[in-house]
Structure 1
Amino acid sequence: MSRQGEIIETKDAKPRRFVFVLMNEFTMMCFASAVEALRIANRMADKNLYEWRVVSVDGQPVISSAGVVFKVDAGLEDLCRDDSVMLCGGLNIRAASSPKLVNWIRKESRRGSSVTGLCTAAYTMAKAGLLDGKRATIHWEHHDGLVEDFPDIAVLNSVFVVDGKMITTAGGTSSIDLMLKFIADGHGEHLANAVADQLIYTSIRTEKDSPRLSIPSRIGVRHLKLSNVIQTMELNLEDPISPAVLAKDVGMSTRQLERLFQRYLNRSPKRFYMEIRLQKARNLLMQTDMSVINVALASGFSSPSHFSKCYRAQYATTPYRERGVKAELPAT
């Protein structure tokens, strides 16, 4: 029933069942956002449109990335072909993608179930071969790693991607957007909008929307030419473009570009470009098995020694030690 007391008419159909697989160190946001949208849809429609079951690889409680322990209903089990598998990923996704889990989702997808990877779980799907030749998305911190590890996947910068029965999201609140799409497709936009209203979710995103804040929002500056230069930098990390060419492309002199970066970002264009290239390198070191030399090349460094020197100056450690100390970057 809606807040105004009206019953929202929905199609009569068997409840759709979602099976949420909580992976070790999963992020609570992606899981809770999805379940809450389904719960509210049932409440607003005043009928059981959706059912869900929560499982883990071994049937034991799972610790989330925030350290909260979640009980589950069961371990991995055979599903009905109409069930929707929802993989809830998070930190250390490579370690969480165990052979048992990978084999299970591969088997269930062959039986006809749709498979959704929330947050970083697109990696697990890719490891199972479910995304070969398909479009997908993943949390933006893991984008570069997925591209390098699985070149046959078209990795998009989208909130979510639906490619047949294989579905992926970019983490965080993107679970809400995906669930609202499911609700709209199954029972109409009126119900989806009512659920969004209950969630105080005022801007429903689609597959065409980017999961990241716009460049002006990220840097806290609304300057068109500065934003355009930064966008060009982010699109050309493997083959860096000189400040002179960047300046010319936006109709400025190199000196003007230098002053622009100093004024708004308190660093030179060269320094800023170096920082985002090193951030990509750090992502690749922690998320892939690429050699340090290949990481350097993928981040625009032609000399391993120069790469190591710059990396040490930025992060106070060497690329080799970084890989040995930490396994992965966090995801939200």
Structure 2
Amino acid sequence: MIRPAKSFSDYTHFGFVLLPSFTLLSFSSAVEVLRMANHLLGKSVYRWSILHPEASSVVSSNGIAIATQPFDNRDMPDVVFVCGGTGIRAASSPEILATLRHLAAQGIPLGSMCTGAYALAKAGLLNGYRCSTHWENLTVLRQEFPMVEFEEKVFVVDRNRVTCTGGVAPLDMVLHLIASRVGADVRASIASQFIVAHIRDAKDRQRVPLLARVGSVREALVEVASLMEANIEEPLSLGELAELSHSSQRQIQRMFRENLGVTPTQYYLNLRLQRARELLTQTGLSVMNITVACGFQSACHFSKTYRKLFGVTPSSERGWGLHHINTSFQNSSANYMRQ
């Protein structure tokens, strides 16, 4: 029986399929958001099931074993996430792949955390989808699964697939999924409880080391990019970059186009805008000070380019980020102490 589609705000029962050597940090980051949401709301809105089609417990990459339960057709989750970690190829057994295909055939939305996207891709369940996975696996997976569009985002929501990188990024992903149900204030209060100063969204990118993206044979490219990162407030011209890196301007343009798919100018601009976003959401600097600190000559040009990349103006970004994180902290702390 195929389930009728639900919106993300309707998800209240989350399922987590643990694969051998899964990353405990990623798994717990997701579950803790649901736990804290229930705590702050004062009722059990969310629940979760820890699943495996065969094993009664699964050992994480740090050696801690977590008890699991089999799927119950009478109480299936609204969404199921595959939790991966190290040794993902061996962990993606035929039984796991068959289970994932069965879930997809039932119309259950699927997701992944850390390297779990490999299992979904191996099962053929990401063809034609955009998705995220840990940056260490991006290059290999793009070659192995050409029908999947791997992105360098922290998490990606594409129709009935919700994929996420590793580390604590599942915290941001689950906060995104529950936001419309719990509201902005509770969402920010959850972040405050976990000492999270900035909630990342679907526009945020992983911090993928450039060397991991282009390989050690592109040392000249890495050198130019490092010069850009070191000169955000006073951007260098293409001529200056060429002189300092002992390359020609034409070589630099070709390296960026062939290896990164963008011009040096666009790459440099994106670096500055990413830095601006960090300053907007994590500091109290004024928009004008950030404009100068990130090498923009006018606030108008800064605002226009920022909106083109992120879809919001700098003022709007600042308005949500700092206001909700800061103003919710005292309320959430008081609520926490009362219970």
TM-score tier by shorter-chain length is 0.5 to 0.7
Note the residue ranges of structure 1 that are not aligned, 5 or more in a row: 1-12, 216-230, 260-268, 270-275, 277-332
| Deviation larger for 22-31 or 79-88 | 79-88
Say whether the 8 Å CA contact 2:220–2:245 is kept in structure 1: no
Q: Give, in whole Å, the separation in 2 of the partners of 1:238 and 1:198.
A: 41
- The two structures have a TM-score, normalised by structure 1, of 0.62
Residue in structure 1 matched with residue 244 of structure 2 by the alignment: 256
Structure 1 residues 166, 90: CA separation in 2 closer, same or farther (over 3 Å shift)?
same
Q: Give, in whole Å, the separation in 2 of the partners of 1:59 and 1:92.
A: 17
Equivalent positions of 1:288-307 (< 5 A) are: none
Q: Give, in whole Å, the separation in 1 of the partners of 2:241 and 2:44.
A: 63
AA of the residue aligned to 1:250 = L
Structure 2 residue 183 is the aligned partner of structure 1 residue 182: no
The alpha-carbon deviation at position 242 of structure 1 amounts to 6.5
Equivalent position to 1:42, from 30, 35, 38: 38
Say whether the 8 Å CA contact 1:102–1:124 is kept in structure 2: yes
Q: Give, in whole Å, the separation in 1 of the partners of 2:80 and 2:42.
A: 25
Residue in structure 2 matched with residue 75 of structure 1 by the alignment: 70
Moved segments of 4+, more than 6 Å: 245-249
Identity of aligned residues (%): 33
Deviations 1:106-151 (A, max 9, x none): 1112212111100000011111111101101100000111101100
Structure 1 residues 79, 192: CA separation in 2 closer, same or farther (over 3 Å shift)?
farther
Residue in structure 1 matched with residue 165 of structure 2 by the alignment: 170
Equivalent position to 1:161, from 129, 142, 156: 156
Residue in structure 2 matched with residue 129 of structure 1 by the alignment: 124
Give RMSD over aligned pairs.
3.2
The alpha-carbon deviation at position 185 of structure 1 amounts to 2.5
Bigger share in helix = 2
Q: Name the SS of the counterpart of 1:158 in structure 2.
A: coil
Q: Name the SS of the counterpart of 1:183 in structure 2.
A: helix
Equivalenced residues, count: 230
Structure 2 residue 13 is the aligned partner of structure 1 residue 17: yes
Say whether the 8 Å CA contact 2:136–2:212 is kept in structure 1: no
Structure 1 residues 16, 202: CA separation in 2 closer, same or farther (over 3 Å shift)?
same
Structure 1 residues 28, 236: CA separation in 2 closer, same or farther (over 3 Å shift)?
closer
Structure 1 residues 77, 102: CA separation in 2 closer, same or farther (over 3 Å shift)?
farther
Structure 1 residues 58, 96: CA separation in 2 closer, same or farther (over 3 Å shift)?
same
Note the residue ranges of structure 2 that are not aligned, 5 or more in a row: 1-8, 228-235, 253-258, 260-339
Say whether the 8 Å CA contact 1:15–1:49 is kept in structure 2: no
Q: Give, in whole Å, the separation in 2 of the partners of 1:15 and 1:151.
A: 30
Q: Give, in whole Å, the separation in 2 of the partners of 1:238 and 1:25.
A: 29
- The two structures have a TM-score, normalised by structure 2, of 0.61
